[in-house]
Structure 1
């Protein structure tokens, strides 16, 4: 109690700890670093994969899971301004790749967004989950840390995604051919029905049953053979 009441260093430290615990102080606002709780990023990735039929989430999806959360009345809220900037920069990367028709995996785009590994061999926003996407490169120099190298698991996932995309493209092509064939068949049948309707129309039209009368030009007063075939008058 004597220390609490008399030690100035203790009082200063106690006041600072109160501000740190409160976190919402206007004088010393503290931003959270992540929203993953007591679970590691790897555990979150495994749980997400379990819910998605074994499909490993992309690096960016894992980042969003551990750095954003839904808040009632506010929507999706980032942990801090850095997380917001990373999310916006990644979305811009995706749009640029789509506009320029550049084929890159989501994990590679995320790698470029955060600038690869830092000096400690870490990738921003992934924590221990970095090994799931970019392998274990602890102790690598700064030059090699900037080179994109996907992990074996990530490579397998990219291969599966590429095969799925190729299959989808093949199915689309097959569907287009089939649709064209169906449209051609429908057009042919419509043409046959039209021709059949026209035949029935002419066959059932009374005007079409009147025989055409042929006139003898010698009996036509207006023809060049006027007077022919009439007896001479004495």
Structure 2
């Protein structure tokens, strides 16, 4: 029976294809992986990541990177396939454009625009079932391309905004403290310089007053004490 099955051309073709799939495809036409999350769903990955991140949910792009890229020794960060690489590059381009134009958008909205919303099957590329964590259901939006954040995503965005506002206030307070301290130091330096200048002027003034005393000429005929002169004798 095994000999008959082994001689069957259909069985041979199927067996050969299965070998190629197990090896990752042939050299001419390699089979690319779809993701690196294994049998675990995106939702399960999101829960684990949130537990490690103090309860904070990763952004849609961060979750995509976690499930579609991996570190390979000697190669660095490697994408699962060319589509994943294109999505990552397109997202970075979106971020740079928004920063250059001064447009304020959340990372989840930028990722939504990168993958052009939901596809015909109502899925968001790279997120699988985890799309419901970041975006509203297909029924809640008028079109598959309209950005509608989920309730969880809205709460996350509000929390991020509050953290940014607190950090901004703290930074402004630190800047004010630094400005006050700098002004105090500059005033102290200016005061010391002024004192040194006034002291130098007093010394110069004192030296000038001493140099203006008229010089007394010595009388050569006076040989009194301290005169330093010699008396000239008178010839009788």
TM-score under structure 1 normalisation?
A: 0.82
Superposed counterparts of 1:1-234, under 5 Å: 1-137=2-138, 140=139, 144-203=143-202, 206-207=206-207, 210=210
Question: What whole-Å deviation, never above 9, does each CA across 1:165-224 have from its counterpart, x for those lacking one?
Answer: 22222223222322222222111111111122233334456515639669xxxxxxxxxx
Partner SS for 1:32: coil
Matches of 1:209 and 1:4 in 2, distance apart?
126
Comparing 44-53 with 195-204, which one deviates more in the overlay? 195-204
Q: CA deviation at 1:83?
A: 0.2
Alpha-carbon distance change, 198 to 18 in structure 1, aligned in 2, over 3 angstroms: same
Matches of 1:186 and 1:167 in 2, distance apart?
29
Which residue number in structure 1 is paired with residue 226 of structure 2? none
Alpha-carbon distance change, 2 to 143 in structure 1, aligned in 2, over 3 angstroms: farther
Comparing 168-177 with 28-37, which one deviates more in the overlay? 168-177
Q: CA deviation at 1:65?
A: 0.3
Question: What whole-Å deviation, never above 9, does each CA across 1:101-145 have from its counterpart, x for those lacking one?
Answer: 0000000000000011112111000011111101333xx499522
Q: CA deviation at 1:2?
A: 3.8
Matches of 1:95 and 1:28 in 2, distance apart?
35
Comparing 66-75 with 13-22, which one deviates more in the overlay? 13-22
CA contact (8 A) 1:90 1:109 kept: yes
CA RMSD after TM alignment: 2.2
Matches of 2:163 and 2:122 in 1, distance apart?
32
Q: CA deviation at 1:81?
A: 0.3
Q: CA deviation at 1:4?
A: 1.9
Matches of 2:182 and 2:175 in 1, distance apart?
10
User: Where does the alignment leave 5 or more consecutive residues of structure 1 unmatched?
Assistant: 215-234
Question: What whole-Å deviation, never above 9, does each CA across 1:26-50 have from its counterpart, x for those lacking one?
Answer: 2431000000112211121122222
CA contact (8 A) 2:50 2:57 kept: yes
